[in-house]
Amino acid sequence: MPPAPVEHFRQEIQCLDEAVHGKQITSHHLRIAMAYEHMAVGTQQLGKYEEAFTWHGKNLEILLNHHPDAANDISVTYLLELVLGNAQSALEKNSKDFQTCRARNFALRVLGNVRLTQERWDDAFTLHKRAFEYQVRTWGETHFETGVLCHRMGCYYERLGEIDIAINYFRAALSIFESTPVSMESHLVRTRYKLGADLTSLGNVDEGKRLLRLAKEGRETLRGTPPHVDDSITFYDALVPYCAW
């Protein structure tokens, strides 16, 4: 359902159309022009720029052809046209920029994965760290792909023996996977296993065992693998497609 102001403006236009059909006012009455402009502003506020331009064009046609003396109204109309144009241009540019950034982030992540398979650990870490920084800057700290890179960063710090830092990254990844509307079940299961294992190794046995139990139950749900079979991170990594690492 449209927001209340836009719905009100639609009803206003409908009532004026009925008045035109009943020959109570002309089709180029100034009130109709103003109603069109109301709709232009309302839809523009919702980011519906194409629709806003349509209503704006109808308003401008009436004013220029039938009310050329309405100088103030025409000035406001041209001002809105400038605002609409700038807003739409900014939206299109931002959209392209975001898509470019996303492609760059993905490329860095995949190249980092390739370096992992080559056991070029330092190169992989550098690439994934750059991807993580770009990802957070572009999409924020709660985006599901940020979670993927949080997990990867945790793995690096775990390998460096900096388990406390690794745990922080794994917790961040887990929080994202648990709250995102995007289905990330395999990532969720894998991160629970990693975090559970690290917490257990540091003596936080209760939370660690709880997460390991949830990970095993999750893997059994996804793959049908009994909890006691192939109980190592290698098999939990296999839950996540290579391209989604």
Residue 202 lies in a domain: yes
- What is the domain count for the chain? 2
Residue 167 lies in a domain: yes
Residue 87 lies in a domain: yes
Residue 134 lies in a domain: no
Specify whether 158 is located in the same domain as 68. no
Q: What is the pLDDT of residue 18?
A: 92
Residue 236 lies in a domain: yes
In this prediction, residues 49-70 reach a mean pLDDT of 81
Q: Is 221 exposed, middle or buried (0-12, 13-18, 19+ CB in 10 A)?
A: exposed
pLDDT per position as a tens digit, 196-216: 999 999 999 999 999 999 999
Q: Is 169 exposed, middle or buried (0-12, 13-18, 19+ CB in 10 A)?
A: buried
pLDDT per position as a tens digit, 71-98: 566 666 666 666 666 656 665 565 566 6
Q: What is the pLDDT of residue 58?
A: 86
3-state secondary structure the chain: CCCHHHHHHHHHHHHHHHHHHCCCCCCCCHHHHHHHHHHHHHHHHCCCHHHHHHHHHHHHHHHHHHCCCCHHHHHHHHHHHHHHHHHHHHHHHHHHHHHHHHHHHHHHHHHHHHHHHCCCHHHHHHHHHHHHHHHHHHHCCCCHHHHHHHHHHHHHHHHCCCHHHHHHHHHHHHHHHHHCCCCCHHHHHHHHHHHHHHHHHCCCHHHHHHHHHHHHHHHHHHHCCCCCCCCCHHHHHCCCCHHHC
CATH number at residue 199: 1.25.40.10
Range name among 1-5, 33-37, 62-66 with the lowest pLDDT average: 1-5
Residue 109 lies in a domain: no
Domain that holds residue 212: 141-244
Q: Greater confidence, 146 or 139?
A: 146
The domain boundary residue, chosen from 29, 59, 93: 93
Specify whether 156 is located in the same domain as 238. yes
Specify whether 145 is located in the same domain as 227. yes
pTM > 0.75? no
Q: What is the pLDDT of residue 1?
A: 38
Specify whether 72 is located in the same domain as 162. no
